[in-house]
Amino acid sequence: MANSGRLRRSALLAAGILLAAGILAAVLTDLFRKAPQKQSVVSFAMGSVLSVDLYGGADGTAEAVKNAVAALDNSISRTIGNSYISRIGKNGKCTADGDFADNMKALLALCEATGGAFDVTIGALSDLWDVGGATPRIPTQDEIDAAMALTDYRTVSLTGFQVSVPPGTLLDLGAAGKGMACDAAKRILAADGEVRGAVVASGGSILCYGENPGKKTWTVGVRDPDGGENDLAGVIRCGECFISTSGNYEKYFELDGVRYCHIISPFDGRPVNNGLKSVTVRADGGMKSDALSTACFVLGEEKSLPILQALNADAIFIYDDNTVFATAGIAGDFELTNDAYRMRGA
C-alpha cells in the first residue's frame, strides 16, 4: 500500500512537472508570437524613399522586398534608359516580360474603369508642364492641344508581351508606380510564409500586411496638406490593406498667386484646380489605390463615388476650406487629429 501511494505521488508529481513545462512552453511561444524579430530596410526607388519594416520571416526578406521594388523601377521608370517604358518612348513599341504585360493590362483596365481620369498616356502633358522638374512653365493653349492629341489610353496596343503606342505618345506610370511597388512587396511577403506583419511605404503609397504585433489594427497617418512631412490631419485604423494619397502639396510651382500642381487632368491638359488639397484611397490592391487616388483627385468627390463603389474602395477627400469627407466604408476607421480640419457637416 505504501509503495502504491508513493507511485501515485510520483505520477502526480511527474504530471505536474509536465503540465508546468507545457504552460511555460505556451507562455514562451506566446511571447515570441507577440514580439517576432523585426527587419528594416530603407532605400530609394520610384523617385522617393522606400521603407520596409517586417516582423518575422526569413533573414533577408526585407532585402528581397527592396530588390523586387528596384527591379520594378528598372522596368517602368521613365528616367532609366533601358526600362520598358523608355524603350516604348524611343521606339513606339517594346516586347516585354510577362509581369510588365500583366501590369499594363491591369493599368489599362483602371484607365477604363475611371473613364480616363487615370491615363497611362499622360507623359506628353507631364513633360509639357514639367511640374517638379527643372523648367516648370505655363504652356500655350496650342501646345496643350498638341499634347492632348497624344493622350488617350485607348490608343495603347497590348498583344501578348508586346506593347505599342502611336508616334509621339509617351507612357507615364508615375500615378500608379508606388502602389505597384507595394503590390510587388506583398508578393514577396506572402511567398515567405512566415512574415506575421509588415509595413511597406513607397512615397505616398503604403501596404499594411498581416497583423500589427501586439495590437489589433494598424494606424496610418493622413498627412496635413498644409504641414510638413510629419504633420497629420488624421489617422486611419485598419487591417491588411493598401492606402495611397495624392495631393496638390507634393510637387507644384506658383505663379501670380496660383498654384500649379503635378496632377494633370487628361480632360483639359491642365494641372487640377478643383478645390481639393488631397485624396486618400484605401483599396485591396496597391496599383488600384494609387491610380484611384489620382483619378479621384482629377474627378472630384461626386464623380468619384460610383467608381469607388464599383471597385470596392474608399476615400477621404480634404478640401481647400479644410473640410473633410470620408466615404461610408472608411468613415468609422478615420479620426481627425488636427483641429484645423473638420468633417463635412460636423
pLDDT given at position 34 = 52
Q: What percent of the chain has pLDDT over 90?
A: 86
Distance from C-alpha of 257 to C-alpha of 111, rounded to nearest angstrom = 33
User: Domains of the chain (ranges plus CATH)?
Assistant: 37-346 (3.10.520.10)
Which burial class, exposed, middle or buried, applies to 19 when counting CB atoms under 10 A from its CB (0-12, 13-18, 19+)? exposed
Provide the total of helices (H) and of strands (E) in the chain, helices listed first: 10, 17
Question: Does the pLDDT at position 6 exceed 80?
Answer: no
Instruction: Find the mean pLDDT for residues 119-125.
Output: 98
pLDDT given at position 7 = 40
Contact criterion met (CB below 8 Å) for 199 and 213: no
Phi and psi torsions of 147, nearest 5°: -70, -35
Distance from C-alpha of 164 to C-alpha of 171, rounded to nearest angstrom = 10
Question: Does the pLDDT at position 11 exceed 90?
Answer: no
pLDDT given at position 173 = 97
Instruction: Find the mean pLDDT for residues 44-72.
Output: 96
Task: Tell how strand 258-261 and strand 323-326 pair up.
Answer: unpaired
Instruction: Find the mean pLDDT for residues 115-133.
Output: 97
| pLDDT band with cut points at 50, 70 and 90 for residue 215 | confident
Question: Does the pLDDT at position 36 exceed 90?
Answer: no
- Among the residues of the chain, which ranges form H helices? 2-34, 61-76, 84-91, 98-113, 123-129, 141-148, 177-192, 286-299, 301-310, 328-331
Instruction: State how far Cα 124 lies from the chain centre.
Output: 24
Question: Does the pLDDT at position 179 exceed 90?
Answer: yes
Higher pLDDT residue, 231 or 213? 231
Phi and psi torsions of 253, nearest 5°: -135, 155
Rounded alpha-carbon distances, angstroms, from residue 27 to 52, 72, 226: 29, 42, 47
Instruction: Find the mean pLDDT for residues 63-79.
Output: 97
Instruction: Find the mean pLDDT for residues 67-78.
Output: 97
Distance from C-alpha of 270 to C-alpha of 6, rounded to nearest angstrom = 91
Lowest mean pLDDT among 17-31, 133-147, 204-218, 237-251: 17-31
Note the pLDDT tens digit of each residue in 217-238. Answer: 999 999 999 999 899 999 999 9
Question: Does the pLDDT at position 27 exceed 70?
Answer: no
Quote the mean pLDDT of the chain.
Answer: 91
pLDDT given at position 35 = 56
Question: Does the pLDDT at position 1 exceed 70?
Answer: no
Instruction: Find the mean pLDDT for residues 156-165.
Output: 96
Note the pLDDT tens digit of each residue in 321-331. Answer: 999 999 999 99
Q: Give bridge partners of residue 38 from the DSSP assignment.
A: 55
Question: Does the pLDDT at position 24 exceed 80?
Answer: no
| pLDDT band with cut points at 50, 70 and 90 for residue 216 | confident
Task: Tell how strand 323-326 and strand 342-343 pair up.
Answer: parallel
Lowest mean pLDDT among 23-32, 104-113, 139-148, 267-276: 23-32
Lowest mean pLDDT among 34-38, 61-65, 214-218, 335-339: 34-38
Instruction: Find the mean pLDDT for residues 300-317.
Output: 98
pLDDT given at position 66 = 97
| pLDDT band with cut points at 50, 70 and 90 for residue 31 | very low
